[in-house]
A and B are shown apart, each in its own frame.
Chain A
Amino acid sequence: MKELQGASGLIFNEPLLWEKGKKGRRGFSMPRRDVVPSPLDEGLAGDGPDFPDLSEVDIVRHYTRLSQWNFGVDAGMYPLGSCTMKYNPKINEREASLPGFAGAHPLLPQELSQGTLELMYRLEQYLAEITGMDAVTLQPAAGAHGELTGMLLIHAYHKSRDSHRSKIIVPDTAHGTNPASASLCGFNSVPVQSNEKGIISTEAVAAIMDEDTAGIMITNPNTLGLFEENIREIAEIVHSKGGLVYGDGANMNAVMGIVQMGKIGFDVMHLNLHKTFSTPHGGGGPGSGPVCVKAILEPFLPVPRIIKKGGEYLLSGDFPESIGKLQAFYGNFGVMIKACSYIMSMGSEGLKRASQLAVLNANYIKENLKDSLYLPYDKRCMHECVFSDRLQEAEKITTLDMAKRLMDYGFHPPTIYFPLVVHGAMMIEPTETESKEDIDRFIEALKAIVAEAGKDPVLLRRAPTRPKVRRLDETAAARKPRLAG
């Protein structure tokens, strides 16, 4: 390997803002007062907020120093499986900072908000086209909120038909939030095991689908990075008993422009704009989890909905069967601008190409590492591949040790110990962002770590040694969390 990506350099310790500064110090000059002071009634005034007294340079250095402790997709490869940590193009930030968008306020009258409403209307249409569904709501704040919305829609659908159903089927390869979302909506989630090929079999679904089951929640591609090949047959079984099919679109990055989710049996699904559509996440910004539905569920979508009437965009609450409002306003609008910017810059061919490259990259990693790391499901994968630590068991090296060691090599670790169906799982999702050279460097790093596990396992158990902090005590953090400073 050429020079390692990971190196250690001078970084700074940095206290809390409240421990910095000095009483009376300021970051700006107040304009001269040009009116007579008029003190507030004492009864209305309380103590001021506890803000630190800081200059501009205090603050800039504070956040710059903290950013140097951090690792983001602007710094290096971030192959966190199931999270689609793709690069966030800077043009998205430029569009979102256009004054008309950045200065918009949700309480402005509709005639002064035509641009923002048009963007939302168009984004809904793009997402409907990409998924092959009929209608979209942009309100949900993130993926799990989208799942809950989907569950509420399914509940509203059954209620409108005077059907009371208590169960939702959730496969063991679904996202971990799926059963939680079903439970939050009052459903009992019924697990179904994936088969030896890592996908759900039609027989397994047929065996438990009944008239008390409201539907099934399927993540496709699933969390093993495999396409649910029986999806059409499974959807038929669920539909034949009156149930609906929910699609968790968190892994949509594998199939944009290739699979029309609406055509393979999904009735409702959510998308993660902060994954598939390149908006920042993981501390970098809020999420957004639009929900796309087939026409049968459209009457139940949350209000207000954006409608177009005589060339004008309006927010309408006139949908009597709607499940109601999900947010104080209309969703995380800043995220919508960035996702729309991404979709428009990529175009339909570009989005399809992104998915093809994401799948190619994951398969390239899988093929290159399958002699070094145990590959439980050796077949063509989609946008991510799942290994385990089985070959390292003899040295008593675990997935955690290898993930920690990757930091020393300058890579963000992959997702570990998920999905649960693979013991000691290591789930790698390179996304389409990375060049072949970067992926080769990542492969070389993991191969070097596997070699170290055989020769010098202590190196791995002590890792990481290069980041600002070493191995953190996750157990103490979970058992005795310190929730205040």
Chain B
Amino acid sequence: MKEIEELFLPDNVRYAETHEWARADGDNMTIGINDYAQDQLGDIVFVELPEIGATFEKGEEFGTLESVKAVSEIYMPVSGEITAINEDLEEAPELVNGEPYNAGWIIEVKPNDPDEINTLMSSSEYLEMLKGGE
């Protein structure tokens, strides 16, 4: 497993306490899990995705990730409606491990409130939270 210093936490996404990230792309927002989460989970073998059109509140579970160790829930970093899901993950769940911020994205949502993303943490704030938790 990676040391905290080895984690890749890019500045162009915002971070939730439950280790998801969100990135504004026009009107919509792309959501995935971050490098720390994928590293802790280990090799991901299955991703359970929500239905397009489903709506979730912030903090609500929208899917699950199954790794060789365990099954974990994934939570909405913002409230909104699912507009797209990453169907590539069905055949290639390893994308979540290999490229968590790019090809390993999980869902795209239309947020109820586009400004809600600002309630999430920046890269440095998230890093502080991880260090505090050690």
Contacts and interface: CB of A to CB of B under 8 A. Distances in A.
Interface residues of A, number: 9
A479 B70 contact: no
Interface in A462-484: 474-475, 478-479
B94 A479 contact: yes
A396 B70 contact: no
A478 B70 CA distance: 12
Contact of B70 (A398, A420, A474, A475): A420
Given A417-B69, A417-B70, A475 B1 contact: no
A68 B2 CA distance: 39
B69 A396 contact: no
B45 A475 contact: yes
B68 A474 contact: yes
A479 B68 CA distance: 10
A429 B66 CA distance: 26
Given A417-B69, A417-B70, A420-B70, A479 B45 contact: yes
B93 A479 contact: yes
A78 to B, nearest CB: 21
B16 to A, nearest CB: 19
A475 B68 CA distance: 6
A276 to B, nearest CB: 26
Is the interface on chain B under 10, 10 to 19, 20 to 34, or 35 or more residues?
Answer: 10 to 19
Interface string A206-224: 0000000000000000000
B1 A478 contact: no
Contacts of A398: 1
Contacts of A474: 43, 68
A196 to B, nearest CB: 16
B39 to A, nearest CB: 12
Nearest to B97: A475
B17 to A, nearest CB: 16
Contact of B1 (A396, A417, A418): A396
A398 B39 CA distance: 13
Looking at B46, B68, B69, B93, the one whose CB has the most chain A CB atoms below 10 A away is B69
A143 to B, nearest CB: 19
Interface string B43-71: 10110000000000000000000101110
A418 B62 CA distance: 23
Of A396, A418, A475, which is in contact with the most chain B CB atoms at under 10 Å from its CB? Answer: A475
A475 B69 contact: no
Contacts of B94: 475, 479
Interface string B82-121: 0000000000011000000000000000000000000000
Contacts of B66: 478
Contacts of B43: 474-475, 478-479
Contacts of A396: 1
A478 B69 contact: no
Nearest to A400: B69
Contacts of B68: 474-475, 478
A47 to B, nearest CB: 36
Nearest to A418: B70
Contacts of A420: 70
B33 to A, nearest CB: 17
Contacts of B1: 396, 398
A328 B70 CA distance: 34
B12 to A, nearest CB: 29
B80 to A, nearest CB: 22
Contacts of A475: 43, 45, 68, 94
Contacts of B70: 417-418, 420
Nearest to B43: A475
A475 B93 CA distance: 11
Nearest to B73: A191
Nearest to A398: B1
B4 to A, nearest CB: 12
A239 B93 CA distance: 44
Nearest to A475: B43
A398 B94 CA distance: 21
A245 B66 CA distance: 30
Interface string B11-43: 000000000000000000000000000000001
A477 to B, nearest CB: 9
B67 to A, nearest CB: 9
A189 B89 CA distance: 27
A105 B84 CA distance: 56
A356 to B, nearest CB: 33
A420 B94 CA distance: 22
Contacts of B46: 478-479
A483 B1 CA distance: 31
B6 to A, nearest CB: 12
Nearest to A478: B45
Interface of A: 396, 398, 417-418, 420, 474-475, 478-479
Given A475-B68, A478-B43, A479-B94, 18 more contacts: A396-B1, A398-B1, A417-B69, A417-B70, A418-B70, A420-B70, A474-B43, A474-B68, A475-B43, A475-B94, A478-B45, A478-B46, A478-B66, A478-B68, A479-B43, A479-B45, A479-B46, A479-B93
22 contacts: A396-B1, A398-B1, A417-B69, A417-B70, A418-B70, A420-B70, A474-B43, A474-B68, A475-B43, A475-B45, A475-B68, A475-B94, A478-B43, A478-B45, A478-B46, A478-B66, A478-B68, A479-B43, A479-B45, A479-B46, A479-B93, A479-B94
Q: Which 6 A-B pairs have the closest CB atoms?
A: A478-B45, A475-B43, A417-B69, A474-B68, A479-B45, A475-B68
